[in-house]
Amino acid sequence: MVASWPEPIVSVQALSQAGVSTVPNRYVKPTHQRPVYKSDQSGLDMEIPVLDMSDMWRNPEGLKRVRKACEEWGFFQVVNHGVDHGLMERVRGAWREFFDLPVQMKRKYANSPDTYEGYGSRIGVVKDAKLDWSDYFFLNYLPSSIRNLSMWPSQPPKIRELIEEYGEEVKKLCERLVETLSESLGLEPNHLMKAFGGEDKVGASLRANFYPKCPQPHLTLGLSSHSDPGGITIVLSEENVAGLQVRRGDCWVTVKSVPNALIVNIGDQVQILSNGIYKSVEHQVIVNSGMDRVSLALFYNPRSDIPIGPVEELLTDNRPALYKPIRFDEYRLMIRQKGPSGKNQVDSLLAST
């Protein structure tokens, strides 16, 4: 475990507020990793699926739509999800207020790479790595025994209560989604949750992201291309500022947020459990010169100390186990040390490698 960052941490928001006119070299991506915009992709006009939670809940036709979205996209937006819309606005607003605090107040919560918990600006501990144009706040949410409330922000007022309230509502949504994914794979409703380790043993963490205005957005990314390491991710995004891009073949599709929707994406652990039937898809975040952006991601993960491998009921002679089992805590450590790197991490678990 690495206890400190390889270089001093710089707040990207502070750089942006200082009015830098060029992106410092440590944020400039190699040419092949720079953002691709719609105009560069022959007028590509696709959007990730939008699913109605009330329609897919134990409904055969709805389950087919879920399966299609998970097989073909690994992403979908969900409406009628049960999370209070007013709460979504309040928690996003509270995090925006937090990031607007003076940097010295935020640095009281400065994180380190041993747990990542707290306020930070980089992922990965590779020295001289190219960095992303963003700041974030990461905290552990489940199981409740690992919450470190001293690392939860105390300002603005009521932010801790909002984190708790929002976390509980999204946790319930995740439980319903895991059941839905299980049924859409032809398994019993509780099968995937058992593979996760059971409702009372799952893990969850929360990351609030701040993507400041950028003077040269074509040279950098708010978050480099990666697939999420955990089970499923629920993202609360800005409705009026685009940023999230999802890989579709050789193209990048910019997600257009539907009002009051939440974005759901499949993580590497569900790809492993489903034996590759469902895909954890690469995604990245672009930035812009005119507006900053806040998003909130809740990562719902399997219990960290049990091996996660393909579900036996999904294996056939023609499709044997594609992945070697690994504990989630081992897998997460690998990600945290190396930082975002496309699909390289999950591909390293292929049984043939």
pLDDT tens sequence for the chain (353 residues): 677 899 999 999 999 999 999 999 999 999 999 998 764 444 456 899 999 999 887 789 999 999 999 999 999 999 999 999 999 999 999 999 999 999 999 999 999 988 899 999 998 888 899 999 999 999 999 999 999 999 999 999 999 999 999 999 999 999 999 999 999 999 999 999 999 999 999 999 999 999 999 999 999 999 999 999 999 999 999 989 999 999 999 899 999 999 999 999 999 999 999 999 999 999 999 999 999 999 999 999 999 999 999 999 999 999 999 999 999 999 888 877 766 666 766 777 777 65
Per residue in 300-338, pLDDT (tens digit) is 999 999 999 999 999 999 999 999 999 999 988 887 776
Given its phi and psi angles, is residue 43 left (phi above 0), alpha (psi -120 to 50 degrees) or beta? left
Residue 300 lies in a domain: yes
Q: Which pair of tokens denotes residue 284?
A: 């990245």
DSSP state of 353: -
- Distance between CA atoms of residues 193 and 202, nearest Å: 9
Residue 351 lies in a domain: no
DSSP 25-72: GGGPPPGGGS---GGGTTT------EEEHHHHTT-HHHHHHHHHHHHH
Total count of domains within the chain:
1
Per residue in 277-290, pLDDT (tens digit) is 999 999 999 999 99
In this structure, are residues 296 and 98 in contact, taking their beta carbons and an 8 Å threshold? no
CATH of the domain at 78: 2.60.120.330
258-to-21, 49, 182, 207, 223 alpha-carbon distances in Å: 33, 11, 26, 21, 21
> How many Cβ atoms sit within 10 Å of the Cβ of residue 292?
22
Residue 9 lies in a domain: no
Query: What pTM value is reported for the model?
Result: 0.94
Residue 7 lies in a domain: no
For every residue of 122-160, which 3-state class applies, written as one string? CCCCCCCCCCCCCEEEEEEEECHHHCCHHHCCCCCCCHH
> How many percent of the chain have pLDDT more than 70?
95
Residue 126 lies in a domain: yes
Residue 353 lies in a domain: no
pLDDT at 44: 52
Residue 177 domain boundaries: 14-346
Residue 4 lies in a domain: no
Residues 6+ apart with CB under 8 A from 327: 304, 305, 306, 307, 308
Residue 352 lies in a domain: no
